[in-house]
Amino acid sequence: MKRIAVLASGRGSNFQALIDRIADGYIPAECVRLITDNPEAYAVERARAAGILVTVVAYPAYPDKQSYEAALLSAMEGCNADLFVLAGYMRILGETIVRRFSGRMINIHPALLPSFSGLHAQRQAIAYGAKVSGCTVHFVDEGMDTGPIIIQRCVPVFERDDEEMLAGRILVEEHAALPEAVRLFCEDRLMIKGRVVCILPP
C-alpha cells in the first residue's frame, strides 16, 4: 500500500476529499503526514480529526528561503512517502525539492492549464471571457503550473459568475479529480512520456 503525504496552507477541502476517499477504500493508500507552512490552517484540524501526523514548517521561522527549503526537504524526506500531494499549498517549491521528488509530486490547480496559471485563476478566467474553465491535476516540475497533466475536468463559465461562484463550481470537480489522480498513481497506472501522461489500464 502506498504512503502519501499532503502539503496544504489553508482550509484543506481537497485534503479532506483525499481523507474521505482513503477511508472508503477508493484510494488504496495511507495518508501518513500533513505538512503545512501555516500553523493556523484549518487543514491542521482536519488532520488531527483523522489521526494524521502534522508537521509545521512555518516560513517566518527561517531567515531566508534557502533555509526554509532545507527544513521543508528534511520534513518531506522524513515522511518516507511514495507520493506528495500539493493541495492548496501556497508556496512555490524550489528546484532541489522538485527534482528530489520528480514524478512523485502532484498539484491541483483551479483552471484548465496551460491557461490561467498562478494565483486567482478563476478571476483570470472571468476577466478573459472564457466560456469554460475547470481544474487540472498535474505532476510538479520546475515551472509554475507547467508539469505534465494527469486529469482535467471542465465546468461552464456563466455571464453572471463572479470569482466566488466559479470557484465553488470548480471545487466540486477538484474534489473528484484529485482523488482519481491519486488513485491512479497508487495503482501504478500513470506513465510519463515527455509531456504526456499515459493512463494504463487496470
Q: List active site positions.
A: 109
Query: Which strand (E) or helix (H) includes residue 12?
Result: none
Sheet containing 105-109: order of strands: 54-56, 29-36, 2-7, 83-86, 105-109, 132-139, 149-156, 196-199, 190-193
Longest Cα–Cα distance in the chain = 48
* Contacts with 124 (C-beta within 8 Å, 6 or more apart), sequence order: 111, 116, 118
Q: What is the dihedral of CA 12, 74, 66, 117, to 10 degrees?
A: -30
DSSP H/E element including 107: strand 105-109
Beta bridge partners of 155: 133
Contact 152, 112 (CB under 8 A): yes
